[in-house]
Amino acid sequence: MSAIDDFLAMLAAERGAARNTLLAYGRDLHQAEGMVDGSLAQATPAQLARLGQGWSSLAPSTLARKISALRQFYGFLVDEGEREDDPTHALPRPATRRPLPKILSHAQVEALFARAEDEASGERPEAVRLLAMLELLYGSGLRATELVSLPLSAVPRDEPFLTVTGKGGQARLVPVSTRAKKALSRWLAVRPSDTKWLFPSRTSHLSRIRLYQMLKELAVRADLPPEKLSPHVLRHAFATHLLEGGADLRALQTLLGHADIATTQIYTHVDAARLVKLVNERHPLARARRSD
């Protein structure tokens, strides 16, 4: 096995890296090896500096991912005693700004659910399925992959929780609202019984692509811009609206399945308006000014 293969095997075994992460890192490292014209494991700082020049036209987020892969790779080699030095100081340091998540207003969410509930009122299986998925995306904050790959066994009979397998194969319990539980019960009553998947397709489970398509189509029928709706936007809305309602950031981290709370902190921007209002209404000086 090459040093790159050894590194990827370590990521999978010791860190539980997701398949998509392994594929992306593998592509980045093999591409870098082709650009240094030799063994990436033996590359010099000068060779890595040329990588930065070759990647100068990339988007900041893409460049940051490639540099992260290289830093972890060389850190692995140093830890394993394959190198005595870490040459990544020669790589550029892109200043990336994490984009703020797209969010839906409460009115937009209400319009979306009103349409979905109206369509499901006739108990047509496809409409009932869409309502159940919508309830879980917005009511429990599931990722698209987590939702479509749910096995039937993830739905408990009595407890208001789902057992979800998230990134890196990490399992967590996700609370299911009363609304979502009712929608799931309706779906279970009409769902095909000869499959292990909660949301089956013809041969396996529903695909992420089909889920995206269904949500875009629902947005059009609800008179909402389709580009504003996706599974991830509903997950963002779940987090945003919970924070607005006073949810604790640590609790939100657990609900979303974030390994690092820094990932969850991206949602704190949505609370800015509420905090300003709180200061204006509750601060002693604000009350004094009103008295004057």
The whole-number pLDDT of residue 169 equals: 72
Distance CA 3, CA 210 (A): 38
From the candidates 65, 66, 115, 143, which is the catalytic residue?
143
Q: Which helix (H) or strand (E) holds 276?
A: helix 272-282
From the candidates 66, 186, 235, 236, which is the catalytic residue?
235
Catalytic residue list contains 50: no
The whole-number pLDDT of residue 30 equals: 92
Place 267 in a pLDDT band, splitting at 50, 70 and 90.
low
Distance CA 48, CA 28 (A): 13
By three-state DSSP, how is residue 1 classified?
Answer: coil
Catalytic residue list contains 89: no
Whether 250 is covered by a domain: the verdict is yes
Count structural domains, the chain.
2
Whether 96 is covered by a domain: the verdict is no
Place 260 in a pLDDT band, splitting at 50, 70 and 90.
low
Whether 100 is covered by a domain: the verdict is no
Whether residues 72 and 173 share a domain: the answer is: no
* Average pLDDT value for residue range 3-19: 85
| CB contact at 8 A, 112 and 229 | yes
Whether residues 230 and 128 share a domain: the answer is: yes
Return the ∠ at Cα 168 (arms to 20 and 263), rounded to 5°: 90
Beta bridge partners of 165: 171
Q: Is the pLDDT of residue 119 over 80?
A: yes
Catalytic residue list contains 167: yes
Whether residues 82 and 112 share a domain: the answer is: no
Residue indicated by tokens 């159940």: 132
The whole-number pLDDT of residue 131 equals: 96
Catalytic residue list contains 267: yes
Whether residues 85 and 111 share a domain: the answer is: no
Whether residues 117 and 258 share a domain: the answer is: yes
pTM above 0.75, yes or no: no
From the candidates 167, 172, 216, 228, which is the catalytic residue?
167
Among 40-49, 58-67, 123-132, 280-289, whose mean pLDDT is lowest?
280-289
Range of the domain at 147: 106-275
Catalytic residue list contains 235: yes
Whether residues 119 and 248 share a domain: the answer is: yes
Catalytic residue list contains 74: no
